[in-house]
Amino acid sequence: MTNTSFSSLNLNPDLLENLSSLGYDTMTPIQALSCPDILAGKDVIAQGKTGSGKTAAFGLGLLERLDVGRFRVQSLVLCPTRELADQVAKEIRALGRRRHNIKVLTLCGGVAVGPQIGSLEHGAHIVVGTPGRIADHLERGTLRLDEVTMLVLDEADRMLEMGFEKALDAIIDRIPKKRQTLLFSATYPSRIQAIARRIMTEPVMAQVASTH
């Protein structure tokens, strides 16, 4: 049987403490299935319904991997909407709060670009954003992703439905090939399978069947 205790994951003690102060006592099924492979550095496709705890599954991976002393964008999380990006950034900050100097920056459309450029000049460890605005910053030369070692596509099915495929391709082109790629989705249609084949290396599948 899969072990559902976070302590089985060999996490940094600060992360374990944060998990327990958030009231996360045991892993959800998708976390139990995907976290060991995520923490082992493998490419993972995780499919599970909304509310199954996918954010913490990749959030722990990002935080465990992060080199806080290196103030560069090391992880990029792409989300379909600003609301989701804000939620993801909030959860990553909460999971990482005992390590004080972690900077998580959100870059989404629908808000002015100027202040984002200012924030980028100050630097960040983790960027969470929507594909259109991230691609925009890459084109402007205000964001560099050449030190990214982890890429997360969150709600990949919705990003494709929203027409972000071209922006995704443009972004992925600017990230080193030697990286860990994680893809999270509520559904796993053929378009997602095709993008996974293009951008991932020997991905492991973590699927939790819907109960209804």
Applying CB under 5 A, the residues found at the interface with Mg ion are 54
DSSP alpha helix (H) spans, the chain:
13-21, 29-39, 54-65, 82-95, 113-122, 131-140, 156-161, 165-172, 190-199
The smaller minimum CB distance to ligand ADP, of residues 56 and 159, is found at 56
Greatest Cα pair distance, the chain, in angstroms, is: 51
Distances (CA, A) of 139 to 36, 67, 134, 194: 36, 27, 9, 26
Among 16, 38, 44, 56, binds ligand ADP (CB under 6 A): 56
Evaluate whether 62 touches 75 at the Cβ level (below 8 Å): yes
Contact 182, 46 (CB under 8 A): yes
What's the helix, strand, coil split of the chain in %, to 5? 45, 15, 40
Q: What is the closest distance, in whole angstroms, from the C-beta atom of residue 187 to ligand ADP in the complex?
A: 12
The entry of Mg ion, ligand ADP, none near residue 148 (CB within 5 to 8 angstroms by kind) is: none
What is the sign of the dihedral through the CA atoms of 147, 123, 137 and 197? positive
CA–CA gap between residue 117 and residue 103 (Å, rounded): 15
Token pair 């670009």 in the structure block, residue: 113
Look at residue 52 and give the partner it binds from ligand ADP, Mg ion, none, a contact being a CB closer than 5 to 8 Å depending on partner kind: ligand ADP
27 binds ligand ADP (CB under 6 A): yes
Q: Is 28 in the site for ligand ADP (CB under 6 A)?
A: yes
Residue 173 beta carbon to ligand ADP: minimum distance, rounded to whole angstroms: 27
Instruction: In angstroms, give the least distance from the CB of 155 to Mg ion.
Output: 6
Residue 50 engages ligand ADP in binding (rule: CB under 6 A): yes
Closest-CB residue for Mg ion? 54
Does residue 211 touch ligand ADP according to CB under 6 A?
no
CB of 178 to ligand ADP, least distance (A): 27
For position 101 contacting ligand ADP by CB under 6 A, the verdict is: no
Q: Residue 152 interacts with ligand ADP (CB under 6 A)?
A: no
Query: Which pair of tokens denotes residue 60?
Result: 């722990």
For the window 30-49, what string marks contact with ligand ADP as x by the rule CB under 6 A? -x----------------x-
Q: Which residues contribute to the site for ligand ADP (CB under 6 A)? A: 24, 27-28, 31, 48, 50-56
